[in-house]
Amino acid sequence: MKKAFFALPLLFLQLWASAQGNRTEMADTFRSNGKIYVVVAVILTIFAGIILYLVRLDRKISRLERHRD
């Protein structure tokens, strides 16, 4: 059981590493049509929203902690 516990992550690591060499048609299509910039813009917008939410949440929590004291 212990060997299987360590062998399973190694199997997934090997599969992931072998998949890195393959070119995907979807990425090539997005790149050739210029839509990759739309995908990048959407991802950056989502991350910016998450960061903004976390900053505002931290400020609110800090304010509540100061009022509690």
Q: Hey, what amino acid is at 65?
A: E
pLDDT of 60 strictly over 90: yes
Please tell me the distance from the alpha carbon of residue 51 to that of residue 58, in angstroms, as a whole number. Answer: 10
- Three-state SS for 22-61 is CCCHHHHHHHHHCCHHHHHHHHHHHHHHHHHHHHHHHHHH
pTM for this prediction: 0.56
Confidence at residue 29, expressed as pLDDT on a 0 to 100 scale: 81
Domain ranges of the chain: 23-68
List Cβ neighbours of 29 (8 Å cut-off, separation of 6 or more): 35
Does residue 8 have a pLDDT over 90?
Answer: no
